């Protein structure tokens, strides 16, 4: 049995008609990594919650909507990439950002949440959504409408990312350095989980 709910949902819909509830569950499953990453972004605190929250949610939601469309458009041509390279890319990106957060929490005299820069948010959005191309490939094989599906996936991810950042902010404002270290460690473990899922549950 695979560790990732994304793959569980995809297996469940192979060869079956996809109704609205199934698509909603897939959207929720695809949003979980983005939700966890948003919590980590919020853990280190930072000013201007709504600006950061809306930016983070827009990055994560937009990427999560775009990747299935790319998979749907490119189809089988990107399937080997989605199955082999994507987990490694996610691991490297999440490991880099997570490791930097842990390092800064211990060695930066005035620690700032490096995960809140536009560059870091873009990398996090890519890392948490790149394997969603597999969803688009499955949609193409099933004849599923990609545009409405992408809107639902993106909207779900947007909302859950905003919630995740709010949750992280609530805890992170009390425990600045510890929260930043914890958030970085979680990001690293997320990347490791994605990689190990691919290696041991192909």
Per residue in 151-172, pLDDT tens? Answer: 999 999 999 999 998 888 877 6
Q: Is the pTM of this model over 0.75?
A: yes
Query: What parts of the chain have a pLDDT lower than 70?
Result: 1-19, 44-48, 107-116, 172-180, 201-202
Q: Which one, of 170, 83, 93, 62, lies nearest residue 135 by Cα?
A: 83
pLDDT recorded at residue 173: 59
pLDDT recorded at residue 3: 39
Measured distance CA(36)–CA(127) in Å, rounded: 12
DSSP string, 76-134: GGGHHHHHHHHHHHHHHHHHHHHHHHHHHHHH-SS---GGGSHHHHHHHHHHHHGGGHH
- For 148, the token pair is 């409405």
pLDDT recorded at residue 12: 47
pLDDT recorded at residue 157: 94
pLDDT recorded at residue 178: 67
């Amino acid at each position: 049995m695979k560790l990732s709910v994304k793959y569980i949902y995809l297996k469940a819909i192979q060869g079956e008609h996809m109704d609205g509830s199934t698509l909603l569950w897939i959207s929720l499953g695809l949003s979980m990594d983005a939700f966890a990453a948003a919590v980590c972004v919020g853990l280190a605190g930072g000013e201007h919650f709504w600006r950061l929250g809306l930016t983070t949610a827009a990055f994560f939601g937009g990427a999560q909507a775009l990747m299935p469309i790319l998979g749907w458009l490119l189809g089988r041509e990107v399937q080997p990439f989605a199955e082999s390279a994507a987990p490694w890319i996610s691991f490297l990106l999440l490991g880099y950002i997570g490791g930097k957060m842990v390092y800064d929490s211990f060695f930066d005299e005035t620690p700032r949440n490096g995960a809140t820069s536009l560059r870091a948010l873009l990398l996090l959005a890519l890392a948490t959504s790149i394997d969603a191309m597999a969803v688009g490939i499955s949609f193409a094989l099933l004849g599923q409408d990609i545009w409405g599906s992408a809107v639902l996936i993106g909207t779900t991810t947007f909302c859950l990312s905003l919630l995740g950042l709010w949750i992280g902010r609530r805890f992170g404002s009390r425990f600045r350095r510890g929260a930043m270290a914890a958030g970085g460690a979680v990001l690293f473990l997320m990347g490791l989980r994605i990689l190990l899922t691919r290696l041991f549950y192909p």
